[in-house]
Amino acid sequence: MSSSVGTGFLGRSSSSNANMRGLVQFIADLRNARARELEEKRINKELANIRQKFKDGNLSGYHKKKYVCKLLYIYILGWNVDFGHLEAVKLISATKYSEKQIGYLAMTLFLHEKHELLHLVFNSIRKDLLDHNELFNCLALHAIANVGGREMGEVLSGDVHSLLISPTSKSFVKKKAALTLLRLYRKHPAIVQPQWAERIISLMDEPDLGVALSVTSLVMALAQDDLEAYKGAYVKAASRLKRIVIDGEFTPDYLYYKVPCPWIQVKLLRLLQYFPPSEDSHIRGMIRESLQKILDLALETNKNVQQNNALNAVLFEAINLIIHLDTEHDLMKQISSRLGRFIQSRETNVRYLGLEAMTHLAARADTLDPIKQHQDIIIGSLKDRDISVRRKGLDLLYSMCDASNARTIVAELLHYLQNADFAIREEMVLKIAILTEKYATDVQWYVDISLRLIAMAGDHVSDEVWQRVIQIISNNEELQVYAARNTLQYCKQDHCHETLVKIGAYILGEFGHLIAEERGCSPIEQFLALQNKLPACSSSTRGMVLSAFIKFVNLFPEIKPQLLNVFSVYSHALDPELQQRACEYLALATMPTDDLLRTVCDEMPPFPERESALLSRLHRKHAKTSDKRTWVVGGKDANADAAELSMATKPGGLKRTFTSKGPVPGTPTNGSSSAANDLAGLDMSATTTTTTDAPKPTKPPNLASAAHLSPGWERGYNRLMLRADGVLYEDGQIQVGVRSEYRGQMACLILYFTNKTPALITSVTTTLDLDEAERPNLGWDIKGLPDPTLSQGGQTQQVVLFEAKRVFTKSPTIRVSYIAGALQGLTLKLPVALHKFMDPAELSADDFFKRWKQIGGAPREAQAIFGLSNAAKHAERELSEGFVRAVVEGFRWGVLNGVDPNPRNFVGASVVHTSEGGKFGCLMRLEPNYASQMLRLTIRATDEALPPVLLKLMQQQLERGAATAQERPPPPTVQEISDAFRNVMVTTSSR
Amino acid sequence: MCNFLEYKDTKIVYRRYASLFFIAGCGSEDNELITLEIIHRYVEQMDKYYGNVCELDIIFSFTKAYYILDELLLAGELQESSKKNVLRCISQQDALEDMEVEDEVTKIM
């Protein structure tokens, strides 16, 4: 059989092993080995042979390759190969591709990231990274992506990054470079430098879906750690998703069983979940449209397995995003009903995922009602034939539990616990204990359930659980009598789990006296119950019982002889701990006076408040995942303010009220703070400390902010402060134009971007920014995004609506980035200022003066006397009447002629519109003195916030002055002359 | 049977093809179904390359199976879902090897 296959392989051309007859024969031999011993014999023979060959040295590349291949095969069969690593590593520096390839494969299989031999190959890898042959680049990238660690990253990450961003890199190299960088980032985050962010995000626009997919994976990891630096990825993800799902922008080979690249869809949907939902209506609209399409597509019938899986993979990710967005009520309604069907599906995978998605829903939703209507089915899933489904059912029941259904659910869980798989019993016990504590509203229920839980599943009860029960009982007086009575009943039974004995020992020792008068609970009966258990218990439990007995000496002097007897017996115990206890207790009990005994056995103080060990234990289970969870299993309150909850322990945990003031059964308390507060500090720090060992990279600057304005921004800005339309910025590559229209408090800005380069520019990206403090005053809504690709001379536009909510002082800025060979970025200030929201007002002279007087002086007046700025003086500019008039009119004042007795003065009136602050009337008087080139400007307004703002804006424009009529450009400098004649002069000099 | 299993902090996603099990481990947060389809895409990719792939193809040509995997998955993430593109990369590798073999032969002659 093997020989026929062998020939088949030899017959096929270009199969790497085809040329290695020896290898094929060796593999065939091993396959023919009937018993393990025979295989071992054959392998040992081969190992000896190879060892000898390597020792002799002087092997040809072909032979080295062949022997390394044999070693590899032995290794992947599971045998230990402890030599030949060096020979394998040396192959990497071979010139022949086939040898190099085997060398790299061997390196990635034999070596791990901390292996000492790895240092030897850094140089070879770098050489291959820089090689002209892309296939060599790929080999090097594969190697780094498979075994690269921190050290390798520190040496090579720069080269990998270059391959990623270089305009000459082929797509298939770029995508590998992106994922290699991802690997290195995971190993050591500091390897990715903060200033790379913008460039990496721009790669999400790559037309090649393979590159986009890989870059998205990289961005997902980076964004999770620094949402702010990667916030630009949100818009990219939303628009890419739409382009794929709605616009069908992909080549046919990316269709996977009729689904357009489900992998990138899943990643984009996931990336969107890392960010808080966008407030931008356009972006929201895009996302909503894509989500709806995904939901619709998933309804298609006649699907094969693959198509079904791919559609569902995307669908479930979409559902998670819808839950995360939390505002799409229409979509939410659709998924609620669909999830109800999923959890009853005949397909196991779908049931599993349906339950998982519902658990997510329970973690976020405001109301659990849509889930509760499926309660019976969910409870039924605990009996599913598949363990994975049963586990998910357990998670969901835990999450959907609230005061109204706690009793039912806890009862079901207890019932199921008896037959549950061993693997999940401990977790179940924890969860039942937490729910019992969380939703306990009456004394009996808490004690009954807790004790029954421990009685049933004693072996699976972790220490945290029974200790917590004791703490709760100790700190709540109303529980003590009932608890003491019940633990005693349990301890009296023949089959009583040891954990119950522990609780019994503690509770009876502390509170046994409270029930001593009751029938069947007399001191001697309490004593006998515990004593009978002693022989079967472990030494730690016996220790606890002995401690209970010394408390009995104090509480029940009438049974002292029996107690002393026990102590004296145990004072000869072999166990040193027990012996010491017994001796000390014996001494304590037989002292002449009871003073010391009484002090020692005084009632225990309440336990100090601390975080619930139960929850921290539960959450410890979720630590160490590579991806950050965007939610945790548990109700909404568990997810409400994870950060806050993790910060510190909250008081009020152990002490709780068992009166009717607690959550009333029947009213959902989900989301109310009481349930969360009743739980002592929910410590989830364990889930977030996964990357603390690596220092966090320093924060990248916010390039869109006003602190990073590009040189040359001012010209266009100043021009547009007085005009509605014009060029905002222009250089050799791009022109940014603005058209604007203002209506009341609303402004519509259309930004035009024109490509002036002789080539394509790609990944055109815009980001708006405004000082944090100003955001409540000036809102905006992006109505569209620019096309990412601009052909030569092409133009694209973006519409942005602004809304003046209140008086604002700062103008928003925009970051425009694009790739023209390298990444280019501009930050410009947008000509959106308060005066743009003014409308000229017509007033008669009487009205003007009347209002001028009504408003009065400070604080509703601002005045300044100023001349040209120093820069303007330097440029020999001047204040002319025409210029001043242009500024005044550009500021949208209604100029009132004939009001001021001095005709040279300007008087104006206007109304400023804001949506939340209302309308403001503004009056202005400007007194120019052209002779002295000075101006006096006075502004009064109906609100004191306005005058200083308007004054400053006007002053900034007026100070600049106008070019004087006789202004001439200065004579050209020598440098300028030589620049202008460069061509001519070069030819002369070269002659 | 469910194709997913929770194991410690990871999830196991597996799929059976005749007598072969393909097993992937992924983070507990990862999308299970899409991981399952990565497995299928790998199998399809091998099928396309080997032509009706069987266990013996993978065994006798195990290095190739690794090379294909490297073209499909890197750093645990899918890098390329287009069958054509992956195949193109592998054929380029094959072409380079063939060229080297020819050179060898020429040299000997």
In what helix (H) or strand (E) does residue A925 lie, and over which residues does it extend?
strand A918-929
CA-to-CA distance for A876 and A864, rounded, in angstroms? 22
With both helix axes pointing from N to C terminus, report the angle between A305-325 and A329-342 in degrees, rounded to the nearest 10. Answer: 140
Closest CB from B6, B64, B97 relative to A391: B6
Residues of A in contact with B27 (CB under 8 A): 625-627
Residues of B in contact with A142 (CB under 8 A): 70, 74
In what helix (H) or strand (E) does residue A782 lie, and over which residues does it extend?
strand A778-782
- How close A12 comes to chain B (CA, Å)? 9
Cβ contact (<8 Å) for B81 and A251? Answer: no
- How close A388 comes to chain B (CA, Å)? 6
Return the residue matching tokens 């060229």: B99
The pLDDT assigned to A135 comes to 93
Closest CB from B33, B62, B101 relative to A19: B101
The pLDDT assigned to A62 comes to 87
Longest Cα–Cα distance in chain A: 125
Longest Cα–Cα distance in chain B: 60
* Residue A275: strand, helix, or coil: coil
Structure tokens at A565: 């007897």
Torsion of CA A121, A127, A132, A138, to 10 degrees: 30
Residue A661 pLDDT > 50: no
The pLDDT assigned to A38 comes to 93
| B33–chain A Cβ distance below 8 A for any pair | yes
The pLDDT assigned to A527 comes to 84
CA-to-CA distance for A216 and A662, rounded, in angstroms? 48
> Which among A253, A307, A172, A211 is positioned nearest to B83, based on CA atoms?
A253
Cβ contact (<8 Å) for A316 and B33? Answer: yes
Query: Which residues 72-91 of chain B have a CB within 8 Å of chain A?
Result: 74-85, 89, 91
Residues of B in contact with A180 (CB under 8 A): 74-75
Distances (CA, A) of A694 to A162, A188, A189: 24, 6, 7
Residues of A in contact with B78 (CB under 8 A): 213, 217, 263
Across the A/B interface, how many CB contacts are shorter than 8 Å?
Answer: 186
Share of chain A above pLDDT 70, in %: 86
CA-to-CA distance for B6 and A388, rounded, in angstroms? 7
| B102–chain A Cβ distance below 8 A for any pair | no
Please report which confidence band the pLDDT of residue A684 belongs to, taking 50, 70 and 90 as the band edges: very low
Which of B30, B72, B79, B92 should be substituted to probe chain A, the one whose Cβ sees the most A Cβ atoms within 10 Å?
B79
Cβ contact (<8 Å) for A214 and B79? Answer: yes
Higher-confidence residue: A314 or A650?
A314
Please report which confidence band the pLDDT of residue A650 belongs to, taking 50, 70 and 90 as the band edges: very low
| B96–chain A Cβ distance below 8 A for any pair | yes
The pLDDT assigned to A208 comes to 93
Residue environment code for A394-409, b if the CB has 16+ CB neighbours within 10 A, otherwise e: bbbbbbbbbbbbbbeb
> Which among A265, A270, A106, A113 is positioned nearest to A183, based on CA atoms?
A113
Residue A983 pLDDT > 70: no
CA-to-CA distance for B84 and A250, rounded, in angstroms? 14
The pLDDT assigned to A580 comes to 87
Structure tokens at A771: 């000082």
The pLDDT assigned to A669 comes to 34
Cβ contact (<8 Å) for B33 and A310? Answer: yes
> Which among A169, A171, A173, A165 is positioned nearest to A144, based on CA atoms?
A173
Cβ contact (<8 Å) for B81 and A261? Answer: yes
CB A699 within 8 A of CB A194: yes
B91 to chain A: closest CA residue: A14
Q: Are strands A762-769 and A813-820 parallel, antiparallel or unpaired?
A: antiparallel
One-letter amino acid at A203 equals L
Q: In what order do the strands lie in the sheet with A813-820?
A: A762-769, A813-820, A822-829
B70 to chain A: closest CA residue: A142
pLDDT digits (tens, 9 = 90+) for A776-820: 899 888 888 888 888 988 999 999 999 999 999 899 999 998 988
Residues of A in contact with B85 (CB under 8 A): 172, 210, 253
Closest CB from A27, A97, A626 relative to B60: A27
Which residues, in sequence order, are bridge partners of residue B5?
A: B12
CB A154 within 8 A of CB B84: no
Q: Is the ipTM of this complex over 0.90?
A: yes
Torsion of CA A928, A930, A934, A939, to 10 degrees: 10
Higher-confidence residue: A605 or A233?
A233
Residue A75 pLDDT > 60: yes
Cβ contact (<8 Å) for A105 and B85? Answer: no
A76 to chain B: closest CA residue: B62
A623 to chain B: closest CA residue: B9
Cβ–Cβ contacts within 10 Å for residue A598, how many? Answer: 10
